[in-house]
Amino acid sequence: MKSFWLSRIASFRYAFHGWSHVLKTQRNTWIHSFIAIAVFIVGLWVGLPPRDWAVIVLATGLVFAGEFMNTAIEAVVDLASPDLHPLAKIGKDVGAAAVLVAALAAILVGLLILGPPLWSKLLTIFSTL
């Protein structure tokens, strides 16, 4: 039983090491992080209900998971094909496209969920000025 728990702890340590690597090496992750923090702040400000939070968290997680997978794909492609190769380029480009699709979907989710309450809140603020 002890080895089971030690291996679980090691698994978390490896995962956090990978997370740290992505944050240290991928500039786009910082952009995603900044936008996610802004979305969470706006969500708190407009008072999103729990179901909307669930969708926002899932969309945000999808973007980060895509970015992490893209980083893994790039590392494996670089290892397998250190020289330029058309198939290596396709692998990297498709990985980047997956992140783009996730980010565009998250933007749409954000607009659909945050748009109406944010617009209403802003109208209230500016109508009192």
Among 91, 88, 100, which Cα is nearest to 28's?
100
Residue 65 structure tokens: 């998971």
Q: What share of the chain is helix, strand, coil (3-state, %, to 5)?
A: 90, 0, 10
Catalytic residue among 32, 67, 103, 109, which?
A: 67
| Catalytic-residue membership of 67 | yes
User: Hey, which residues are catalytic here?
Assistant: 67
